[in-house]
């Protein structure tokens, strides 16, 4: 199975800050990398697919980059509603696997 490792596990930032979360795959996954946002008590929601494609309806402050094994989710200007846990997921091979999550808190 492909292991997905996110860093950091948690972070605290102020409104307006630029936030970066990284995700590393244990082997090449080309661009088969998705990012999800999950708020407490809610289902995950896709933000970015294919490493850098912004899902329809998602604010443009969210962006994704990377390829092969190293990927990044960036929030250009953190907003209060962005407080959530973020997961990366590889869809390159079965089983699809998720990172352990990054909890983003607002200072």
Residue ranges binding other proteins (CB under 8 A): 31-32, 34, 36, 42-46, 49-53, 55, 87, 89, 91, 94-101
Q: Which is nearer to other proteins, 49 or 78 (CB)?
A: 49
Q: Which is nearer to other proteins, 15 or 59 (CB)?
A: 59
Q: Which is nearer to other proteins, 31 or 63 (CB)?
A: 31
User: Smallest distance from the beta carbon of 95 to other proteins, in angstroms?
Assistant: 5
Q: Match 């962006």 to its residue by tokens.
A: 63
Mention every residue, 6+ apart, whose C-beta is less than 8 A from residue 34.
Answer: 46, 48, 49, 50, 88, 89, 90, 91
CA distances from 44 to 18, 69, 75, 85 (A): 22, 23, 17, 9
């Amino acid at each position: 199975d492909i292991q997905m490792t996110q860093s950091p596990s948690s972070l605290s930032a102020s409104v307006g800050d630029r936030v970066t979360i990284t995700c590393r795959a244990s082997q090449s996954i080309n661009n088969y990398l998705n990012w999800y946002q999950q708020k407490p008590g809610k289902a995950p929601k896709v933000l970015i697919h294919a490493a850098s494609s912004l899902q329809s309806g998602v604010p443009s402050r969210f962006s994704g980059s990377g390829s092969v094994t190293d990927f990044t989710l960036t929030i250009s200007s953190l907003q209060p509603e962005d407080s959530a846990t973020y997961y990366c997921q590889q869809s390159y091979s079965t089983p699809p696997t998720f990172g352990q999550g990054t909890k983003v808190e607002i200072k």
